Amino acid sequence: MANEKVTSLEVAALAGVSQSAVSRVFTPGSSVSRKTADKVRAAAEQLGYRPNVLARSLKSGRSRIIGLVVAYLENYFYPEMVERLSNELQKVGYHVLIFLAPVGSTNIDQVVRELMDYQVDGIVMASVALSSDLAARCAATGIPVVLFNRAHDDANLSAVTSDNVAGGRALADYLCSLGHERIAYIAGFPEATTQRDREAGFVAGLTAHGQTVFARAEGNFDYKTAQAAARELFARPNRPDAVFVANDHMAFAVMDVLRFELGLRIPEDVSVVGFDDVPPASWPAYNLTTFRQNVDVMVQETVAMLMASVGPGMSEVRRLVLPGQLMIRGSTRRHGPPR
């Protein structure tokens, strides 16, 4: 029997249950006995029946889809985040619709408008900015928005971030404790709050040790741009003896240039630290000292915020800043030179 011709009424007749029971079996979160569910699913399998999710969403007013706007997927942090977000949302009967909006893109508002056209029940903005006007429009239409790994000056937007200031400071403290005196910084995208906060914490940490940033370049959270930044900083005769790179994705690019183009040893000639603790950071090829963001907790809190806001009566705005952890590995020397 062709799928499109099979109805829930036919499934109900074969299973010996009511049509509403069939509906409950295929509605996430609905209450139905195991015996009834087994009979309905067996009948559906036999007939080749699949529920029409779109039609159901029109009736209920809920698409059970969360829109995710992500800047890029080259950075291991985001594929990890997407996988965890998808898994957490599936637990509560939701799915993810992904839209890409590269860092620095000028069409973010258009992307969000397209998401709204898909009747999503909520939007997660992962490391991309959202205009205050569009945020207000989302709120007016009852679509909750949560910023992930990014904050915003608009007090009406909920956000989940790590403590980027504390992370930057912890990395400065650690490099100074090793005896480094020429500590450079490779920045991310200038307009990102993560970049701003990590650098602010790093500068404050250096200041507390009587130091300043020895040299600075911008990598824009981009692999090739970070490579160019590394060449720029380490071409000088009096090169840095340590460098904080604003995320691990760029740190890998920097380490590759230092070792394979410039012939420098890590950590003997220069210590390198990053931020995020993505999976390759612990691989022997990089063994990167970095500041860990707890992706699992960030995702769980993001989903909790969304679920509290979906439906009638928007919940209060929340700004959650989560602690991270310094992960010390082999890209930094263990003991500083005599002072």
Q: Look at residue 107 in the predicted model and tell me its pLDDT.
A: 65
Q: Look at residue 144 in the predicted model and tell me its pLDDT.
A: 87
Let me know: does 336 contact 178? Beta carbons within 8 Å: yes
Q: Which residue has the tokens 């569009």?
A: 134
Let me know: does 286 contact 331? Beta carbons within 8 Å: yes
Number of H helices, E strands in the chain: 12, 12
Q: What is the pTM of this model?
A: 0.81
Q: How far apart are CA 245 and CA 233, in angstroms?
A: 12
Q: Look at residue 180 in the predicted model and tell me its pLDDT.
A: 97
Q: Look at residue 61 in the predicted model and tell me its pLDDT.
A: 54
Domains and CATH numbers, the chain: 3-51 (1.10.260.40), 63-162+294-324 (3.40.50.2300), 164-292 (3.40.50.2300)
Give all strands (DSSP E) within 127-236, no chain letters.
Answer: 145-148, 158-162, 183-187, 215-218
Q: Look at residue 338 in the predicted model and tell me its pLDDT.
A: 39
10 Å CB burial of residue 297 (0-12, 13-18, 19+) is: middle
Q: What is the pLDDT along the chain (339 residues), one digit of tens a residue?
A: 444 568 888 888 988 988 888 878 877 667 888 899 899 889 888 888 877 665 555 555 567 899 998 888 889 999 999 999 999 999 988 999 998 876 555 567 777 777 777 778 898 988 776 666 777 777 777 788 899 998 877 777 889 999 999 999 999 999 999 999 999 999 999 988 999 999 999 999 999 999 999 999 999 999 999 999 999 999 988 999 999 999 999 999 999 999 999 999 999 999 999 999 999 999 999 999 999 999 999 999 999 999 988 865 556 778 899 999 999 999 998 755 533
